[in-house]
């Protein structure tokens, strides 16, 4: 198990520094029965020049992974 003290964004892999907003997503893992839950962390605000934050991009990727596109 790797313990990191710096908070790291799971999307862009860079650290979340003091003053930046971030969100956390609980990881549901049945293997962790009864143990402390773990979290993914993401930047909540977009970087300068970018349209979406790491969190929004992560959400979009998850949504599109859930979608099934049919063609008539
Ligand atoms: Zn990030």
Query: Encoding tokens for residue 5?
Result: 């003290």
Alpha-helical runs (H) found in 1-72: 54-66
Q: Ligand 1 centroid to 27 CA: how many Å? A: 17
Tens digit of pLDDT at every position of the chain (72 positions): 555 456 899 999 999 998 899 999 988 776 656 677 788 999 999 999 999 999 999 999 888 888 888 888
Q: Cα–Cα distance between 38 and 10 in angstroms, integer?
A: 12
d(CA 18, CA 50): 20
Ligand 1 centre distance from Cα of residue 49 (Å): 14
71 CA to centre of ligand 1 in angstroms: 34
Residue-level pLDDT at 45: 94
- CB distance 50 to 41 below 8 Å: no
| Ligand 1: centre distance to CA 6 (Å) | 13
């Amino acid at each position: 198990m790797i313990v990191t003290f710096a908070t790291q964004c799971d999307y862009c892999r860079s650290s979340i520094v003091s003053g930046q907003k971030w969100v956390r997503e609980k990881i549901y893992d049945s293997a962790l029965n009864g143990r402390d839950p773990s979290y993914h962390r993401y930047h909540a605000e977009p970087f300068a020049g970018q349209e979406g934050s790491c969190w929004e991009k992560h959400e979009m990727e998850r949504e599109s992974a859930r979608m099934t596109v049919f063609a008539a």
